[in-house]
Structure 1
Amino acid sequence: MAVRYIPYFPNTLEGQALLDNFVRTKRVLRYRDNDRVVENIKRGMPYYEVEPVEEVGDNPQHNMVLRGECLSACAYLKDKGIKVDLVYIDPPFASGADYAKKVYVRNNPKVAATIAQAEKELDNEELRTFDEKMYGDIWDKERYLNWMYENLMAIKSVMSDNASIYVHLDYHIGHYVKILMDEIFGEDNFVNEIIWQRVYSHNDANRYGQIHDTIFYYCMNNEDYTWHTQYVPYDEKYLKMYSMDDGDGRKYKVENTMGPGGRGSTYEWNGITRTWRYSQKTMEELEKKGLLYHTSSGFPKKKVYLDEMPGKPLQSIWTDINVIAGQAKELVDYATQKPEALLERIIKASSDEGMVVADFFGGSGVTAAVANRLGRRFVTSDINLNSIQTIRDRLIGGKAEFEILEVKDGVSLFRNPVQTMDKLKKMIPGLCDNEEKFDKIWAGSIVSTQYGVMPVYLPNLLDSSSRLLDKPMINRIIREALPDLPADIRRVIVYYIDITDRNDIEQFIKEQNDQTTIEIELRDLKQFLDDIVVEDDAEWEVSETHDALFSGWKVTINSFHSDRVLKKIEEVNLKGRQQVLQQKTKGKEKKFVPITISDEGLETIEWISLDCENAEKNQPWHSDVEIKRDHLGRVCLNGKKTDEFWDGSIRCDKKPLRMKIRNICGDETVWTL
């Protein structure tokens, strides 16, 4: 259960996006569960305990990487009084797509004793790989928009008074989110709709090629927000606008001196009375400097010389930044990775050095990496452990200093919520798959000698709104789910991750459950998950060495075994064999080469780190030395890429106290040495 709830704003806003400005038709845009979302916002953001995981460098700027959901991260920032000056988020697009990580089996250092052998392994075009699902972008429109509404409200609550926010979406849901943002930030604070052309063309059947995303840009205060005009190189069409000169060869164009929208200073100039863009004093100075051009009627226009311009002012359609190419240096093998050039443009335009840049759907870590490179402070968060690992490794490579914190919300047992949901049914003792006679709200059933068949409700960890068991949720179970159960059902089990007040909910059940004789048993899923530990096994030797090449400590890994990785490989091999059999039945020959792992199992190690400062498990990790192996098997030492291949060991100057190993699927295990 959340430790407490943090208010979004001093005076909580009420309502959700209502499109009610059509007087004639009275059209109103409403969604299911709006009332529930309003109740959530009135209650506040759930604040959980936050545990320090790792410290990198001295970190005087207090940069942070949070593993947790947007709401939890914002609750933590608000509780600590931390304000952010620029927000960029690239949330799920409600596209219905699943995103997977390509998992590479590395070369075996026991076999690759020579560079020649390692190079021979690299010649194999079909690298031994398999996919692992990271997260699912599977939403219905109603749940997505309610979820986004809560997140945007939370983000707004931690934005400074002159902050800006960029929300990156596409055609699936962007137009609906625009309505939410109009309500949350105010229509007057809408700055731009940016069209980003990701690719030059796309061969879509039966429709125009879909080649762009949309970025909505809002500010907190349209009279005071950070803005620095960005420029791009001139194109031929734009250069033609500079067609005038005074005979000296200096090209210029002329611009209107009238006040935009009737705003400005009203006075008479050269016999013409207008509302001018510039004050009379400024107009006189422009005249003295020869920067006014007079039309045949005597109307003044301002000269703008080409050689004084830094480039063409950036417009709202961006066509000069492409998606990341397969061989790009910045590529980190993350499904939804965005190019650094895109974030560099946004961060330069809407922040100053030293300001705090935040991204609450951190993904590949591009926002934090670019913010750090440009001298900004950063806060980034994500619920996906693969994202946190990618961000962490990327920032290490960029020489950033930061801390990693984990929100203890009880759902981070595995690497991501998708994986947890996939394993949840198998982990709960006695839980059988849902029978056809039960509604889909029930995840399955457990058979008891005392009560018989007991339907089981599990919160959907992919939908943060269902993690909290509150009165609206339990009322839905009582009113909609219980009456439809067979007559012989005597008890149901309702698991929860978080609960508003257990005593209050139990009292509510007693008062409201009068339509059936079915008992409702509440169980804390978080306690169940906390009792389960998934760890890998390793054997190693620690030795102190002193020779001409190296003086210090050496840890040699003799073997490494991960049951979860091996089971995943078994599943991949089984699927591959079945596909071959299916092809044979159709008269087609298909060769299948199974993925095999050596007895040592070192092929399944992706990353290894030594901590020479802290020996206690509850202390934040301090990486004195670390090795990461890329998908080709080459070593990245302390964030620096090399052409070397791993020899199965890791060296450090001081005596190592702890060792952490990450397997190729992303699970990390710590050993005391």
Structure 2
Amino acid sequence: MNNQLFYGDNLDVLRRHIKDETVDLCYIDPPFNSKRNYNQIYNNIGKEDRAQAQAFIDTWTWDDLANYGLAEIKENYHGKFTQQTIDLICGLDKVLGKGSLFAYLVNMTLRIVEIHRVLKPTGSFYLHCDPTASHYLKLVLDTIFCSQGGDFRNEIIWSYKKWAVAEKTFSKNHDIVLFYNKNANKILFNVLLQERAPSTLKRFGKKKIVSGHDETGKRIPSQTTNEDSTGVKMSDVWDIPIIAPSSKERLGYPTQKPKALLERIIKASSNEGDVILDAFCGCGTTVEVAQLLDRKWIGIDITYQSIGVIIKRLEDSFGKEVLENITLNGIPKDIESAQALALKKDDRTRKEFEKWAVLTYTNNRAIINDKKGADKGIDGIAFFDSGKDNPEKIIIQVKSGKVKSGDIRDLLGTITINEATLGIFITLNEPTKDMIKTAKEAGIYQSQFMSNPVDKISIVTVREIIEEQKRLDIRLVLEVLKSAEKQKEIKSDQIKINFAD
């Protein structure tokens, strides 16, 4: 099978596209919030620091989708839910009330049930979480896995060092990974070894230490054998550093996990050729490691920015030919599907059309403007080398509705305010003659690195992007997609990004 990358809601993808018992290993790292106080979540009192909690609240809110999900569980939609799961969710409804935490648990329950369905009998499931909600999630997992012949295997502690100062608490320096298997009698598990302590190696060399009891129960004194072994069975506490800001591995994705963490999970619970699923694949660490270890993989994410990161990441790591063996699903391939994406009603996915247009046209090299609320006329930004001390800036704007010549004049104003050099106007609808005339009146630009001059204002249609495969033909400074947050780490005297507050 081809490796598969899905753009869309993972619940819908799991239900419509992933068949029963086809996955050997699933790892997920869903959005969770480690900054909110436990009591504040539990009581849903709404007095927590909203700025810190915003990402969690934006992802998991009590809305129509949460109501539908709760109804599915209580009514046992298509017989998917065990009685234990139904009883647990009904009980948590009374305890937690309909707030962001309960919305998170309802949505996670729906997805974990589908993950359990697609796992092979020998399959394993790793859920990455933090202490904020891990105790609730373990209850959910117990009702889904253990009630159907599966088993809880480990609570893995991922221990790392962060130098943040915590007031009136111990520093929070670990995450939790809950490890379950679908069938307690058929688990696939490869024993991993960790290095012995230096003091042990110094005393015994590379000889394996053996101890135990005889048939009478009497302890046998420790002794060594001639077997060459420098490792002991790996424990459930994993000391793996977080990705340093200066690391080449770092992409600027806020929840990026180190490859070493996923390598350990994939090696322990799968073999070469097995199918690995990550239903919240984010920046693609799981799929990159799966590719590296000769596994097949399925990745799902609901944001096109993540899909763009993954495509570029795989291309950078394995070359463009790796894309030949990847099937992209859910990405607009014709005008009708582009229009459907542009007209999405869900506020959380409404900007996905803009992200898709910006990243597709720039071959995933632009930066998305993720600012909340009004974007001040900037949907994306890119930089190119003109031979000057600082890179030149390109402003990208996307429109899915009716367009007019005034939109081009507005873009010209945005370019001036933000000290940009070029502007790109991407439109779903065909531009008017007045728009084209206004854009041409802005003139042309050419640098020593360009073989031909370019329009200062370029109008690009979605039809051209899809049917003619039209792409930005300017060599950009930033060849790897990075978020605006990541760009702040670059010295301000090199590149200054201003989204015009």
Q: TM-score range by the shorter chain?
A: 0.5 to 0.7
Cα separation, 2, equivalents of 1:386 and 1:148: 22
Deviation at 1:595, TM superposition (A): 2.7
Q: 1:70 to 1:597 in 2, by over 3 A?
A: same
* 1:535 Cα deviation after fit: 11
User: 1:253 offset after TM fit, Å?
Assistant: 2.6
After TM superposition, the structure 1 = structure 2 runs for residues 489-504 of structure 1, keeping only pairs within 5 Å, are: none
Structure 2 counterpart of 1:595, which letter?
N
Shift in alpha-carbon separation, 1:636–1:202, aligned structure 2, 3 A? closer
Q: Which residue of 2 aligns with 1:161?
A: 121
- 1 CA distance for matches of 2:140 and 2:317? 36
Gaps of 5+ in 2: 37-53, 62-99, 332-336, 354-377, 381-393, 401-405, 426-444, 446-461, 482-497
1:70 to 2:30 alignment? no
SS at structure 2 position matched to 1:136: helix
Deviation at 1:322, TM superposition (A): 1.2
In 2 relative to 1, CA 215–392 (structure 1 residues): closer, same or farther, beyond 3 Å? same
Q: Hey, what's the Cα distance between the residues in 2 that align with 1:626 and 1:232?
A: 48
Q: Is the 8 A contact 2:21 2:121 kept in 1?
A: no
Matches within 5 A, 1:604-643: 633-635=477-479
Counterpart of 1:86 in structure 2 is 25
SS of residue paired to 2:342: coil
Offset of 1:83 from its aligned partner?
Answer: 0.9
Give the letter aligned to residue 413 of structure 1. Answer: A
| Ranges in structure 1 where 5+ consecutive residues have no aligned partner | 1-60, 98-131, 244-248, 259-268, 275-296, 425-533, 537-558, 575-592, 604-615, 638-663, 666-673
Return the alpha-carbon distance in structure 1 between the equivalents of residues 212 and 24 of structure 2: 34
Post-superposition shift, 1:85?
A: 0.4
- What pairs with 1:311-322 in structure 2 (closer than 5 Å)? 311-319=231-239, 321-322=240-241
Distance in 2 separating the partners of 1:325 and 1:411: 40
For residues 234 and 264 of structure 2, the distance between their equivalents in structure 1, rounded to whole angstroms, comes to 10
Name the larger-Rg structure: 1
Mapped to 1, the partners of 2:420 and 2:287 lie a distance apart of: 36
How many angstroms does 1:76 deviate by?
A: 2.7
> Are the equivalent residues in 2 in contact too, given 1:198–1:323 (CA < 8 A)?
yes
Residue in 1 that maps onto 2:189: 227
Please give the root-mean-square deviation of Cα atoms over the aligned residues, in Å: 4.7
Q: Is the CA contact 1:90–1:361 (under 8 Å) kept in the aligned structure 2? A: yes
Q: 1 CA distance for matches of 2:474 and 2:312?
A: 9
CA distance in structure 2 between the aligned counterparts of 1:345 and 1:560, rounded to whole angstroms = 42
1:406 aligned to which of 320, 325, 330: 330
Partner of 2:212: 256
Q: Relative to structure 1, is the Cα distance of residues 235 and 563 closer, same or farther in structure 2, using a 3 angstrom cutoff? A: same
Q: Kindly state the Cα deviation for residue 157 of structure 1 after the two structures are TM-superposed.
A: 0.9
Q: 1:628 to 1:74 in 2, by over 3 A?
A: farther
Go from structure 1 to structure 2 and tell me whether the alpha carbon gap of 1:636 and 1:172 turns closer, same or farther (over 3 Å shift). Answer: closer
1:219 is matched by which residue type in structure 2?
Answer: N
SS of 2:137's equivalent?
helix
Look up the match of 1:540: none
- For residue 372 of structure 2, what is the aligned residue in structure 1? none
Instruction: Report the Cα offset of residue 413 of structure 1.
Output: 2.9
Per the alignment, residue 293 of structure 2 pairs with 374
Q: Which AA in structure 2 matches 1:163?
A: G
Distance change in 2, residues 1:350/1:92 (3 Å):
same
More helix as a share of residues = 2
Structure-1 residue corresponding to 2:361: none
Identity of counterpart residues, as a percentage? 26
Instruction: Describe the superposition over 1:352-376 as per-residue Cα deviations: whole angstroms up to 9, x where unpaired.
Output: 0000000000101010111001100
1:176 Cα deviation after fit: 0.4
For 2:479 and 2:349, the matched residues in 1 are separated by: 31
2:267 to 339, 348, 362: 348
Measured in 2, the distance between the counterparts of 1:76 and 1:205 equals: 47
- The one-character-per-residue Cα deviations of 1:42-89 (angstroms, maximum 9, x if unpaired) are xxxxxxxxxxxxxxxxxxx3100001112111113345x671100000
User: Could you state the TM-score of these two structures normalised by the residue count of structure 2?
Assistant: 0.56
Counterpart mapping for 1:444-463 below 5 A: none
> In structure 2, what is the Cα distance between the partners aligned to 1:634 and 1:337?
19
Scaled by the length of structure 1, the TM-score of the pair is 0.43
| Whole-angstrom distance in 2 between the partners of 1:323 and 1:404 | 30
Aligned residues of 2:207 and 2:228 also touching (Cα < 8 A): no
Number of equivalenced pairs: 335
Q: Matches of 1:600 and 1:363 in 2, distance apart?
A: 29
Matched, 1:191 2:115: no
Question: Quick check: 1:628–1:636 contact (8 Å CA) kept in 2?
Answer: no
1:227-626 equivalent positions in 2, closer than 5 A: 227-236=189-198, 239=201, 252-257=208-213, 272=216, 300=220, 303-305=223-225, 308-319=228-239, 321-399=240-318, 400=322, 401-406=325-330, 412-413=341-342, 419-420=348-349, 561-563=396-398, 595-600=418-423
Deviation at 1:227, TM superposition (A): 1.2
> Which is richer in strand?
1
Equivalent position amino acid for 1:370 in 2: V
On the 8 A contact 2:157/2:175 being kept in 1, the answer is yes
**SS at 1:218 equivalent:** strand
Kept in 2, the 8 Å contact 1:361–1:382? The answer is yes
1:403 deviation in Å? 1.2
**Counterparts of 1:252 and 1:67 in 2: how far apart (Å)?**
49
Change over 3 Å in CA distance of 1:146–1:379 after alignment to 2:
same
Q: Aligned AA for 2:419? A: T
Provide the secondary structure at the position in 1 that maps to 2:125.
strand
Q: Which amino acid aligns with 1:405?
A: N
Q: Distance in 1 between matches of 2:164 and 2:395?
A: 44
Report if aligned partners of 2:23, 2:120 keep a CA contact under 8 Å in 1. Answer: yes
Preserved contact between residue 342 and residue 350 of structure 2 (Cα < 8 Å): no
